[in-house]
Amino acid sequence: LELTAAHVNPPGEPSNVAFQELAKRLGEGTTGIALQVFPQGQVGGETDALEQVRFGALTMTTVATASLSTFAPSAGVYDLPYLFRDGDTHPWIVADGEIGKEIEAKIEAETGLEVLGWWSGGLRHVFTRGAPVTTPDDLAGRKIRVIGSQVYLDSFNAMGALATAMPYGEVYTSLATGAIDGAENDISGYRNVKFYEQAPNFSLTGHFFLYKPVLANRSAMEALSPEQREEFDRIFAEVTEMQRGLFKANFDSDLAYLKENGVHVVEVDRAAFAAKVQPVVDKLSETYGADLVQRIRDAQ
């Protein structure tokens, strides 16, 4: 039985490693499941892959919640700025707990897909050319490229920046020429796409935590026999643990690498940034339910 998986992550990125590991362990398993992985956007971008999973051309993929929410509006609640206390404990309390199951059920109803689990995309940070960003005031009037998602645009405008939508492929050149003053990404993307060469100030704003839910085509997963499914779930749980751990461990090694390569890493007062985006949070709390947002915040 052959399953397929696609993702957009480059070698070394935890989701890339995790899918490789998943394929390896399934291959070594005893119930005869093979997993063919198409890395680095070989079969399309995140929303493309998600759509291919929906109509069954692929078995599974992992995408950022920002991409998932174009199909499943309920996933959007996770994209609220400064929703989580940290990037490695609080998100898992939520995703693996009661609230996570509720949201998962909504996502499954909205997309017709099965949510296999929740991986980490880490916290997102701001990086700039020119002056570093230490306080929200340092963002004032500066063009920051964000991913094309309304909550990202609103959040950065609320922080005082000029949120700029731009294709990913042009960000590097635009940082070089100064068409934009900065952008935001997780540390792994910042390092892999070499943004640090042109924007060497890395401010640990941690404005969003990004989940990477793994989604699968329901009927493709139903083709697994009970024994196969049992083995799959066991190995998938191990790999999920590994992926989350890897993201945490990689953060430190990436940070060390970046410092060695002349990157100026800036610690910031996250509360000051969080205060700025409060209006965005208030507005979105109405959409998703203030109660739900509060429960996520309070989850222990």
Partner 1 sequence: MSQTLVKIEESVVRLEGLILFCTLLALIVMLAMQVLFRFVLQAPLAFTEEAGRLLFAWLIFIGAARALYVSQHFMVDIVYNHVPAPLQKLFGYVSDAASIGLAVVLAQAGFRMVFRGGQTLPVLGIPAWAQTAALPVGMTLLAFHALCFVLRRQHVGDGAHPDFEE
Partner 2 sequence: MIGWILLAIIVLIILRAPIFVALGAPAASYLWLRGIPLELAPQRMLGTVNESILLAVPMFLLAGALMNRYGATARIFDFAQAVIGHVRGGLGYVTVLASMVFSAMSGSAAADAVGVGKMTVAAMRERGYDPNFAAAVTLSSATMAPVIPPSIIMIIYGATANVSIGKMFLGGIVPGLLMAVSLMITVGWLSARRGYGRGEPFSFGRVLTTFWRASLVMLTPVLVIGGIFSGALTPTEASAIAVVYVIFLGLVYRKLKFSDFYRSLVHTGTAVGALMLVVSVSGLDAWVIAREQIPMMLAQQVTEMVSSPTLVFIAILLVVLVLGLFMDATPIILMLVPAIAPLVTAFGIDPLHLGVLFCIVCVLGLITPPVGVALYGVALVSRLPMERVFAATIPFFIMLLVLVAIMIAVPSIVTWLPNKWG
Residue indicated by tokens 């985006």: 277
Q: Is 74 in the site for partner 1 (CB under 8 A)?
A: no
Smallest distance from partner 2 to CB 104, Å: 25
Give me the residues that bind partner 2 (CB under 8 A), please: 10-12, 36, 38-45, 48, 51-52, 55-57, 166-167, 169-170, 172-174, 176-179, 192-194, 197-198
Residue from 21, 24, 31, 54 in contact with partner 1 (CB under 8 A): 54
Question: Shortest CA distance to 244 belongs to which of 85, 18, 5?
Answer: 18
The residue count for the chain = 300
Residue from 8, 66, 95, 235 in contact with partner 1 (CB under 8 A): 66
d(CA 292, CA 296): 6
Question: Shortest CA distance to 156 belongs to which of 181, 176, 174, 175?
Answer: 181
Report how many helices (DSSP H) and strands (DSSP E) the chain contains, helices first: 14, 9
Smallest distance from partner 2 to CB 131, Å: 16
Picked from partner 2, partner 1, none, the partner binding residue 21 (CB below 5 to 8 A depending on kind) is none
Which C-beta is closer to partner 2: that of 178 or that of 279?
178
Residue from 153, 193, 224, 242 in contact with partner 1 (CB under 8 A): 153
Residue from 61, 62, 69, 185 in contact with partner 1 (CB under 8 A): 69
- Helix, strand, or coil (residue 122): strand
In DSSP terms, 189 is beta-bridged to none
Residues that bind partner 1 (CB under 8 A): 47, 51, 54-55, 66, 69-71, 73, 110-111, 141, 143, 148-150, 153, 162-167, 179
